[in-house]
């Protein structure tokens, strides 16, 4: 049957080291058996030691990538990752108003684990005001949720309140990822559009191979949505997938290695 293959797109930055960004997303789409496409916002020169430099792609070329995909494919889900700066966030917002790429997962990527800034600070407000209202799901980690809301989040209660605040701002479904907390378990709080909420907990795994975890998690959810999986199930599958990816360590490079996409 024509167009029966699940098709999914990532709008993000390239990681030359293959562990995060566009590369992690495409590997995850492949592992989840969805046909993956990419709209590249920026290039990074990167390895397991960190990001050495980055180069944003001109906005009119981002328009061209959106146009090429919209003209041909039946995209059933999408995700955003590294968006670089305000100009690029606005370019993505304007394009999303013109195309239908299905449910949108916004992973509000801000700073890489090594400390390199992947989004200019003044773009956070634009993400909050213009991109989040278009999102089906937003997946901030604790530092990202703190930046979006301008307050510190330390307790479980804070995570619940943060999810409610993001929903009040117009985001439909929220996952606050607890991976950066000091707790023995990595617990994420999920608040759905219908008011249902739940925690997803998994044992914290001692490993240095966590590069690209956030990208992989949101990419898995996007792939599942493209396949027609119901949202709650897609989110739980995302958690299971990332837990398996972190548990079965691979050894690549000499710094903080990537997660395992074929776990």
- Residues in contact with ligand PLP by CB under 6 A are 12-13, 15, 20-21, 44, 46, 51, 81-82, 109, 112-113, 118, 211-215
Name the one residue in this structure whose structure tokens are 């809301």. Answer: 149
Residue pair 117/82 in contact by the 8 Å Cβ criterion:
no
Q: Closest-CB residue for ligand PLP? A: 21
For residue 250, report the phi and psi dihedrals to the nearest 5 degrees.
-115, 160
CB of 248 to ligand PLP, least distance (A): 17
C-alpha to C-alpha distance for 111 and 35, rounded to whole angstroms = 28
CB of 194 to ligand PLP, least distance (A): 29
Q: C-beta of 259: minimal distance to ligand PLP in Å?
A: 8
CB of 79 to ligand PLP, least distance (A): 11
Closest CA to 224 of 78, 55, 85, 90: 78
Q: Which is nearer to ligand PLP, 25 or 158 (CB)?
A: 25
CA 48/CA 52 separation, integer angstroms: 10
Nearer to ligand PLP, 114 or 149 (CB): 114
Residue 215 or 224: the one with the smaller Cβ distance to ligand PLP is 215
Q: Which residue carries 């117009």 as its tokens? A: 170
- End-to-end CA distance of the chain: give it in Å, rounded: 30
Report the C-alpha gap between 142 and 136 in whole angstroms: 19
Q: Taking the complex as a whole, how short is the minimal distance between the CB of residue 5 and ligand PLP, in angstroms?
A: 25
> Minimum distance between the CB of residue 103 and ligand PLP, rounded to whole angstroms?
20
> Are 136 and 113 contacting, i.e. CB atoms less than 8 angstroms apart?
no
Q: Which is nearer to ligand PLP, 229 or 260 (CB)?
A: 260
Contact predicate 22/15, CB 8 Å: yes
Indicate the residue among 229 and 243 with the shorter CB distance to ligand PLP: 243
Nearer to ligand PLP, 211 or 239 (CB): 211
């Amino acid at each position: 049957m024509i167009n029966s293959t699940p098709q999914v797109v990532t709008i993000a930055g390239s990681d030359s080291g293959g562990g995060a960004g566009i590369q992690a997303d495409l590997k995850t789409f492949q592992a989840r058996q969805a046909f993956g496409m990419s709209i590249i916002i920026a290039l990074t020169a990167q390895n397991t030691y960190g990001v050495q430099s980055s180069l944003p792609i001109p906005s009119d070329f981002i328009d061209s990538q959106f146009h090429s995909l919209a003209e041909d494919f039946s995209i059933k889900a999408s995700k955003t990752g590294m968006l670089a700066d305000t100009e690029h966030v606005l370019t993505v917002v304007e394009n999303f108003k013109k195309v239908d790429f299905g449910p949108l997962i916004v992973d509000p990527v801000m700073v890489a684990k090594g400390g390199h800034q992947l989004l200019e600070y003044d773009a956070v407000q634009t993400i909050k005001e213009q991109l989040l209202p278009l999102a089906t799901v937003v997946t901030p980690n604790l530092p990202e949720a703190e930046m979006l809301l301008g307050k510190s989040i330390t307790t479980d209660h804070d995570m619940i309140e943060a999810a409610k605040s993001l929903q009040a701002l117009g985001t439909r479904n929220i996952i606050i990822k607890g991976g950066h907390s000091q707790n023995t378990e990595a617990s994420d709080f999920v608040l759905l559009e219908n008011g249902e909420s739940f925690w997803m907990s998994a044992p914290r795994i001692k490993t240095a191979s966590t590069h690209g975890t956030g990208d992989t998690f949101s990419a898995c959810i996007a792939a599942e949505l493209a396949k027609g999986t119901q949202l709650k199930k897609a989110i739980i599958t995302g958690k299971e997938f990332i837990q398996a990816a972190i548990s079965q360590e691979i050894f690549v490079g000499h710094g903080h290695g990537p997660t395992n996409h074929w776990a």
